[in-house]
Amino acid sequence: MATGNKPFPKMHPVAGFALGTTSAGIKTPGRKDLVLMQIQPQASVAALFTQNAFCAAPVVVCRQHLSTDVPRYLLVNTGNANAGTGEQGLVDAQRSCQALAERQGVSPQQVLPFSTGVIGEPLPIEKLLAALPAAVDALAEEGWADAADGILTTDTCAKGASLQYQPIGTEPKVVTITGISKGSGMIKPNMATMLGFVATDAQVDSELLHRALRLVTNKSFNRITVDSDTSTNDSIVLVATGASTVVIDESNFEEFVSQLEKVFIELAQAIIRDGEGATKFVSVVVDSAVNSEEALKVAYTVAESPLVKTALAASDANWGRILAAVGRAGVDNLDVSKVSISLNEVLIVERGGRAASYSEAAGAQAMAPEEISISISLNRGNTSETVWTTDLTYEYVRINAEYRT
Protein backbone atom coordinates (compact mmCIF):
# COMPACT_ATOMS: atom_id res chain seq x y z
CA MET A 1 0.00 0.00 0.00
CA ALA A 2 2.94 2.32 -0.66
CA THR A 3 2.14 5.99 -1.31
CA GLY A 4 3.58 7.91 -4.21
CA ASN A 5 4.03 4.90 -6.54
CA LYS A 6 7.54 6.05 -7.40
CA PRO A 7 9.46 3.62 -9.65
CA PHE A 8 12.74 2.18 -8.47
CA PRO A 9 15.38 4.70 -9.58
CA LYS A 10 18.35 4.27 -11.87
CA MET A 11 21.23 3.12 -9.66
CA HIS A 12 24.70 4.32 -10.59
CA PRO A 13 27.29 1.62 -9.76
CA VAL A 14 29.94 2.62 -7.24
CA ALA A 15 33.42 1.53 -8.26
CA GLY A 16 34.98 -0.63 -5.57
CA PHE A 17 31.64 -1.77 -4.10
CA ALA A 18 29.98 -4.99 -5.31
CA LEU A 19 26.74 -6.67 -4.26
CA GLY A 20 25.57 -10.28 -4.60
CA THR A 21 22.05 -11.51 -3.78
CA THR A 22 20.68 -15.03 -3.47
CA SER A 23 18.06 -17.15 -1.73
CA ALA A 24 18.92 -19.04 1.44
CA GLY A 25 15.34 -20.02 2.29
CA ILE A 26 15.68 -18.53 5.76
CA LYS A 27 11.94 -17.90 6.12
CA THR A 28 10.36 -18.30 2.68
CA PRO A 29 11.74 -20.85 0.18
CA GLY A 30 12.89 -19.27 -3.08
CA ARG A 31 12.74 -15.68 -1.86
CA LYS A 32 15.81 -13.46 -2.17
CA ASP A 33 16.93 -13.16 1.44
CA LEU A 34 20.74 -13.10 1.57
CA VAL A 35 22.81 -10.15 0.37
CA LEU A 36 26.60 -9.92 0.35
CA MET A 37 28.45 -6.65 -0.19
CA GLN A 38 32.16 -6.51 -0.99
CA ILE A 39 34.28 -3.43 -0.22
CA GLN A 40 37.62 -2.86 -1.90
CA PRO A 41 40.73 -2.48 0.30
CA GLN A 42 41.69 1.00 1.56
CA ALA A 43 38.06 2.09 1.75
CA SER A 44 36.63 3.97 4.73
CA VAL A 45 33.56 2.68 6.55
CA ALA A 46 31.26 4.42 9.05
CA ALA A 47 28.20 3.00 10.78
CA LEU A 48 25.48 3.84 13.29
CA PHE A 49 23.33 1.36 15.18
CA THR A 50 20.15 1.07 17.20
CA GLN A 51 19.90 2.60 20.67
CA ASN A 52 17.59 -0.22 21.79
CA ALA A 53 19.16 -1.93 24.84
CA PHE A 54 17.98 -5.31 23.51
CA CYS A 55 20.11 -4.89 20.41
CA ALA A 56 20.39 -7.89 18.13
CA ALA A 57 23.38 -10.24 18.10
CA PRO A 58 24.63 -8.96 14.71
CA VAL A 59 24.64 -5.39 16.06
CA VAL A 60 26.82 -6.52 18.98
CA VAL A 61 29.19 -8.29 16.60
CA CYS A 62 29.31 -5.34 14.19
CA ARG A 63 30.32 -2.98 16.96
CA GLN A 64 33.03 -5.36 18.11
CA HIS A 65 34.43 -5.85 14.61
CA LEU A 66 34.39 -2.16 13.74
CA SER A 67 36.50 -1.44 16.81
CA THR A 68 39.28 -3.72 15.59
CA ASP A 69 39.42 -3.62 11.77
CA VAL A 70 38.14 -1.98 8.57
CA PRO A 71 35.34 -4.08 7.00
CA ARG A 72 35.72 -5.79 3.65
CA TYR A 73 32.32 -7.53 3.59
CA LEU A 74 28.78 -6.80 4.75
CA LEU A 75 26.53 -9.86 5.09
CA VAL A 76 22.78 -9.30 5.35
CA ASN A 77 19.99 -11.80 5.93
CA THR A 78 16.25 -11.21 6.10
CA GLY A 79 13.47 -13.34 7.54
CA ASN A 80 15.12 -13.62 10.96
CA ALA A 81 16.39 -10.79 13.18
CA ASN A 82 18.72 -12.94 15.32
CA ALA A 83 17.55 -10.72 18.20
CA GLY A 84 16.53 -11.90 21.64
CA THR A 85 18.48 -15.08 20.92
CA GLY A 86 21.01 -14.89 23.78
CA GLU A 87 24.45 -16.43 23.57
CA GLN A 88 23.52 -18.72 20.68
CA GLY A 89 22.66 -15.67 18.59
CA LEU A 90 26.15 -14.28 19.10
CA VAL A 91 27.67 -17.65 18.22
CA ASP A 92 25.65 -17.82 15.01
CA ALA A 93 26.54 -14.26 13.98
CA GLN A 94 30.23 -14.92 14.58
CA ARG A 95 30.00 -18.23 12.75
CA SER A 96 28.63 -16.52 9.63
CA CYS A 97 31.54 -14.07 9.72
CA GLN A 98 34.06 -16.86 10.20
CA ALA A 99 32.70 -18.92 7.29
CA LEU A 100 32.72 -16.01 4.86
CA ALA A 101 36.15 -14.86 6.02
CA GLU A 102 37.66 -18.29 5.43
CA ARG A 103 36.14 -18.45 1.96
CA GLN A 104 37.30 -14.97 0.94
CA GLY A 105 40.70 -14.87 2.63
CA VAL A 106 40.04 -12.08 5.12
CA SER A 107 39.83 -11.96 8.89
CA PRO A 108 36.45 -12.56 10.60
CA GLN A 109 36.70 -9.03 12.02
CA GLN A 110 36.53 -7.70 8.45
CA VAL A 111 32.99 -9.08 8.06
CA LEU A 112 29.97 -7.23 9.44
CA PRO A 113 26.72 -9.25 9.86
CA PHE A 114 23.22 -7.75 9.62
CA SER A 115 19.86 -9.41 10.19
CA THR A 116 16.23 -8.34 9.99
CA GLY A 117 12.95 -10.16 10.48
CA VAL A 118 11.22 -11.97 13.32
CA ILE A 119 12.64 -11.36 16.83
CA GLY A 120 13.25 -14.17 19.29
CA GLU A 121 13.70 -17.11 16.92
CA PRO A 122 17.04 -18.91 16.36
CA LEU A 123 18.84 -17.99 13.16
CA PRO A 124 18.79 -20.97 10.73
CA ILE A 125 22.54 -20.68 10.38
CA GLU A 126 23.04 -23.80 8.27
CA LYS A 127 20.77 -22.42 5.54
CA LEU A 128 22.67 -19.14 5.59
CA LEU A 129 26.07 -20.82 5.36
CA ALA A 130 24.95 -23.08 2.52
CA ALA A 131 23.96 -20.04 0.45
CA LEU A 132 27.24 -18.14 0.85
CA PRO A 133 28.89 -19.51 -2.34
CA ALA A 134 25.95 -18.36 -4.46
CA ALA A 135 26.09 -14.89 -2.92
CA VAL A 136 29.81 -14.65 -3.65
CA ASP A 137 29.29 -15.79 -7.24
CA ALA A 138 26.63 -13.09 -7.73
CA LEU A 139 28.89 -10.20 -6.67
CA ALA A 140 28.74 -7.32 -9.16
CA GLU A 141 28.96 -3.54 -8.98
CA GLU A 142 25.61 -3.44 -10.83
CA GLY A 143 23.90 -5.56 -8.16
CA TRP A 144 22.02 -2.75 -6.38
CA ALA A 145 18.49 -3.54 -7.57
CA ASP A 146 18.64 -7.21 -6.57
CA ALA A 147 20.14 -6.25 -3.21
CA ALA A 148 17.36 -3.71 -2.63
CA ASP A 149 14.85 -6.56 -3.06
CA GLY A 150 16.93 -8.95 -0.98
CA ILE A 151 16.89 -6.86 2.20
CA LEU A 152 13.09 -6.40 2.39
CA THR A 153 10.74 -7.84 5.03
CA THR A 154 7.20 -6.43 5.28
CA ASP A 155 8.12 -3.75 2.74
CA THR A 156 5.97 -3.66 -0.38
CA CYS A 157 8.65 -2.15 -2.61
CA ALA A 158 12.40 -1.79 -2.94
CA LYS A 159 13.96 1.49 -1.86
CA GLY A 160 16.94 3.08 -3.56
CA ALA A 161 18.51 6.44 -4.29
CA SER A 162 21.45 7.42 -6.46
CA LEU A 163 23.09 10.56 -7.78
CA GLN A 164 26.26 11.84 -9.37
CA TYR A 165 27.72 15.31 -8.96
CA GLN A 166 30.86 17.17 -9.96
CA PRO A 167 32.61 18.72 -6.97
CA ILE A 168 33.85 22.22 -7.56
CA GLY A 169 37.37 22.16 -9.00
CA THR A 170 37.44 18.45 -9.93
CA GLU A 171 36.45 18.70 -13.62
CA PRO A 172 35.89 16.31 -15.36
CA LYS A 173 35.72 13.92 -12.39
CA VAL A 174 32.36 13.13 -10.79
CA VAL A 175 31.39 11.55 -7.47
CA THR A 176 28.77 8.82 -7.27
CA ILE A 177 26.57 8.24 -4.20
CA THR A 178 24.20 5.24 -4.26
CA GLY A 179 22.22 3.58 -1.50
CA ILE A 180 19.41 1.24 -0.51
CA SER A 181 17.28 0.94 2.61
CA LYS A 182 14.54 -1.23 4.04
CA GLY A 183 11.90 -0.54 6.62
CA SER A 184 8.14 -0.37 6.85
CA GLY A 185 7.16 -0.95 10.47
CA MET A 186 8.83 -0.70 13.88
CA ILE A 187 10.15 2.62 12.68
CA LYS A 188 11.46 5.31 14.95
CA PRO A 189 15.15 4.78 14.42
CA ASN A 190 16.73 7.18 16.96
CA MET A 191 19.92 6.76 14.93
CA ALA A 192 19.36 5.19 11.54
CA THR A 193 16.73 3.06 9.90
CA MET A 194 15.80 -0.60 9.94
CA LEU A 195 18.68 -1.24 7.53
CA GLY A 196 20.49 1.09 5.16
CA PHE A 197 23.60 0.78 3.02
CA VAL A 198 25.10 3.72 1.13
CA ALA A 199 28.34 3.81 -0.85
CA THR A 200 30.30 6.54 -2.59
CA ASP A 201 33.43 6.42 -4.74
CA ALA A 202 34.75 9.59 -3.11
CA GLN A 203 37.91 9.39 -1.01
CA VAL A 204 36.96 10.35 2.54
CA ASP A 205 39.01 9.70 5.64
CA SER A 206 37.37 7.88 8.53
CA GLU A 207 36.89 10.93 10.77
CA LEU A 208 35.19 12.99 8.06
CA LEU A 209 33.07 10.03 6.94
CA HIS A 210 31.76 9.48 10.47
CA ARG A 211 31.04 13.20 10.80
CA ALA A 212 29.16 13.21 7.50
CA LEU A 213 27.14 10.13 8.51
CA ARG A 214 26.06 11.68 11.80
CA LEU A 215 25.06 14.94 10.13
CA VAL A 216 22.97 13.45 7.34
CA THR A 217 21.39 10.75 9.51
CA ASN A 218 20.23 13.43 11.91
CA LYS A 219 18.38 15.17 9.08
CA SER A 220 16.94 12.04 7.47
CA PHE A 221 16.59 8.72 9.27
CA ASN A 222 16.36 10.49 12.62
CA ARG A 223 13.33 12.41 11.37
CA ILE A 224 10.98 9.54 10.51
CA THR A 225 8.42 7.60 12.51
CA VAL A 226 5.75 5.09 11.54
CA ASP A 227 4.77 3.76 14.95
CA SER A 228 7.33 5.18 17.43
CA ASP A 229 8.91 1.73 17.93
CA THR A 230 12.70 1.47 17.77
CA SER A 231 13.94 -1.83 16.33
CA THR A 232 16.54 -4.10 17.89
CA ASN A 233 18.42 -4.23 14.58
CA ASP A 234 18.56 -0.69 13.17
CA SER A 235 21.80 -0.13 11.26
CA ILE A 236 23.09 2.32 8.69
CA VAL A 237 26.45 1.90 6.94
CA LEU A 238 28.28 4.45 4.80
CA VAL A 239 31.21 3.29 2.65
CA ALA A 240 33.70 5.50 0.78
CA THR A 241 35.75 3.43 -1.67
CA GLY A 242 37.96 6.25 -2.96
CA ALA A 243 37.87 4.80 -6.47
CA SER A 244 37.02 8.13 -8.11
CA THR A 245 40.22 9.66 -6.60
CA VAL A 246 38.16 12.75 -5.72
CA VAL A 247 39.33 13.70 -2.23
CA ILE A 248 36.80 15.10 0.23
CA ASP A 249 38.41 17.38 2.79
CA GLU A 250 37.40 20.44 4.79
CA SER A 251 37.36 22.57 1.63
CA ASN A 252 34.59 20.60 -0.08
CA PHE A 253 33.08 18.73 2.87
CA GLU A 254 29.95 20.88 3.07
CA GLU A 255 29.23 20.31 -0.62
CA PHE A 256 29.66 16.54 -0.16
CA VAL A 257 27.35 16.48 2.86
CA SER A 258 24.71 18.42 0.93
CA GLN A 259 24.69 15.80 -1.84
CA LEU A 260 24.83 12.90 0.62
CA GLU A 261 21.87 14.35 2.51
CA LYS A 262 19.78 14.22 -0.67
CA VAL A 263 20.32 10.46 -0.95
CA PHE A 264 19.64 9.88 2.75
CA ILE A 265 16.44 11.93 2.76
CA GLU A 266 15.15 10.11 -0.33
CA LEU A 267 15.80 6.75 1.34
CA ALA A 268 14.23 7.86 4.64
CA GLN A 269 11.14 9.25 2.94
CA ALA A 270 10.82 6.04 0.92
CA ILE A 271 10.43 4.16 4.20
CA ILE A 272 7.58 6.45 5.24
CA ARG A 273 5.94 6.17 1.82
CA ASP A 274 6.01 2.39 2.32
CA GLY A 275 4.96 2.47 5.98
CA GLU A 276 2.92 -0.56 6.97
CA GLY A 277 -0.65 0.02 5.82
CA ALA A 278 0.09 3.65 4.98
CA THR A 279 -2.24 5.64 2.73
CA LYS A 280 -0.78 9.05 3.59
CA PHE A 281 2.69 10.59 3.48
CA VAL A 282 2.67 13.24 6.19
CA SER A 283 5.14 16.05 6.86
CA VAL A 284 4.89 17.63 10.31
CA VAL A 285 6.65 20.99 10.17
CA VAL A 286 7.17 22.94 13.39
CA ASP A 287 8.63 26.42 13.01
CA SER A 288 9.46 29.43 15.18
CA ALA A 289 10.44 27.20 18.09
CA VAL A 290 13.00 28.21 20.72
CA ASN A 291 15.35 25.37 19.73
CA SER A 292 15.54 22.08 17.81
CA GLU A 293 14.66 19.99 20.87
CA GLU A 294 11.44 21.92 21.37
CA ALA A 295 10.47 21.75 17.70
CA LEU A 296 11.08 18.01 17.54
CA LYS A 297 9.19 17.42 20.79
CA VAL A 298 6.09 19.01 19.27
CA ALA A 299 6.57 17.38 15.85
CA TYR A 300 6.92 13.86 17.24
CA THR A 301 4.01 14.28 19.66
CA VAL A 302 1.75 15.13 16.72
CA ALA A 303 3.30 12.56 14.36
CA GLU A 304 2.92 9.72 16.86
CA SER A 305 -0.52 10.53 18.23
CA PRO A 306 -2.83 7.57 17.46
CA LEU A 307 -5.79 9.96 17.37
CA VAL A 308 -4.12 12.26 14.85
CA LYS A 309 -2.94 9.33 12.75
CA THR A 310 -6.37 7.67 12.62
CA ALA A 311 -7.96 10.99 11.66
CA LEU A 312 -5.44 11.19 8.84
CA ALA A 313 -6.39 7.69 7.73
CA ALA A 314 -10.03 8.75 7.54
CA SER A 315 -9.20 12.06 5.83
CA ASP A 316 -11.08 13.61 8.73
CA ALA A 317 -10.07 17.21 9.49
CA ASN A 318 -10.46 16.64 13.22
CA TRP A 319 -8.13 19.53 13.97
CA GLY A 320 -8.82 19.41 17.71
CA ARG A 321 -6.66 16.28 17.91
CA ILE A 322 -3.69 18.17 16.46
CA LEU A 323 -4.26 21.09 18.81
CA ALA A 324 -4.44 18.74 21.80
CA ALA A 325 -1.22 16.99 20.78
CA VAL A 326 0.63 20.30 20.55
CA GLY A 327 -0.67 21.23 23.98
CA ARG A 328 0.55 18.03 25.63
CA ALA A 329 3.99 18.04 24.01
CA GLY A 330 5.55 19.50 27.15
CA VAL A 331 6.66 22.89 25.84
CA ASP A 332 7.52 25.13 28.78
CA ASN A 333 5.36 28.23 29.12
CA LEU A 334 3.66 27.76 25.77
CA ASP A 335 1.46 30.72 24.90
CA VAL A 336 -1.36 28.97 23.02
CA SER A 337 -2.70 32.32 21.80
CA LYS A 338 0.38 32.63 19.58
CA VAL A 339 0.15 29.14 18.05
CA SER A 340 -1.13 28.71 14.50
CA ILE A 341 -1.74 25.40 12.70
CA SER A 342 -2.34 24.75 9.01
CA LEU A 343 -3.27 21.68 6.98
CA ASN A 344 -1.90 21.82 3.44
CA GLU A 345 -1.85 25.63 3.70
CA VAL A 346 -5.40 25.79 5.03
CA LEU A 347 -5.25 27.77 8.28
CA ILE A 348 -7.18 25.86 10.93
CA VAL A 349 -5.97 27.29 14.27
CA GLU A 350 -4.98 30.82 15.27
CA ARG A 351 -5.10 32.85 18.50
CA GLY A 352 -5.73 29.73 20.56
CA GLY A 353 -8.78 28.50 18.67
CA ARG A 354 -10.42 27.81 15.34
CA ALA A 355 -9.30 30.21 12.63
CA ALA A 356 -11.96 32.67 11.56
CA SER A 357 -11.37 31.79 7.90
CA TYR A 358 -11.64 28.01 8.44
CA SER A 359 -14.50 25.88 7.17
CA GLU A 360 -15.17 22.15 7.36
CA ALA A 361 -15.27 22.00 3.58
CA ALA A 362 -11.79 23.54 3.36
CA GLY A 363 -10.52 21.15 6.03
CA ALA A 364 -11.93 18.11 4.24
CA GLN A 365 -10.33 19.24 0.99
CA ALA A 366 -6.97 19.70 2.73
CA MET A 367 -7.10 16.19 4.21
CA ALA A 368 -8.05 14.41 0.99
CA PRO A 369 -4.66 14.23 -0.81
CA GLU A 370 -2.17 11.41 -0.37
CA GLU A 371 0.49 13.90 0.74
CA ILE A 372 -0.34 16.11 3.71
CA SER A 373 1.65 18.83 5.45
CA ILE A 374 0.79 19.78 9.02
CA SER A 375 2.42 23.14 9.72
CA ILE A 376 2.66 24.35 13.31
CA SER A 377 4.00 27.81 14.17
CA LEU A 378 4.85 28.28 17.84
CA ASN A 379 5.87 31.94 17.30
CA ARG A 380 8.41 31.96 20.11
CA GLY A 381 11.80 31.49 18.39
CA ASN A 382 13.67 30.97 15.12
CA THR A 383 14.13 27.17 14.84
CA SER A 384 12.30 24.88 12.42
CA GLU A 385 12.27 21.08 12.20
CA THR A 386 10.41 18.56 10.03
CA VAL A 387 9.36 15.00 10.86
CA TRP A 388 7.85 12.58 8.31
CA THR A 389 5.19 10.07 9.31
CA THR A 390 2.21 8.01 8.10
CA ASP A 391 -1.43 7.59 8.95
CA LEU A 392 -2.60 4.64 11.07
CA THR A 393 -4.91 2.24 9.23
CA TYR A 394 -6.72 -1.06 9.72
CA GLU A 395 -4.10 -2.58 7.42
CA TYR A 396 -1.29 -1.66 9.82
CA VAL A 397 -3.08 -3.59 12.57
CA ARG A 398 -3.64 -6.57 10.29
CA ILE A 399 -0.02 -6.73 9.12
CA ASN A 400 1.32 -6.70 12.67
CA ALA A 401 -1.35 -8.98 14.09
CA GLU A 402 -0.48 -11.58 11.45
CA TYR A 403 3.29 -10.94 11.28
CA ARG A 404 4.32 -14.39 12.48
CA THR A 405 1.62 -16.37 10.67
> Which residues does the annotation mark as catalytic?
193
Q: To the nearest 10°, the Cα dihedral for 209, 63, 70, 145? A: -70
339: Cβ contacts below 8 Å, ≥ 6 apart: 326, 349, 352, 376, 377, 378, 379
128: Cβ contacts below 8 Å, ≥ 6 apart: 24, 26, 34, 77, 96
Sheet of 175-182, strand order: 44-49, 235-240, 195-200, 175-182, 159-165
Q: End-to-end CA distance of the chain, in Å?
A: 20
Euclidean distance between CA atoms 83 and 96, whole angstroms: 15
138 residue type, one letter: A
Classify each residue of 147-174 as buried b or exposed e, where b means 16 or more C-beta atoms within 10 Å of its C-beta: bbbbbbbbbebbbbbbbebebeebeeeb
Cα angle 158, 390, 363 (rounded to 5 degrees) comes to 135
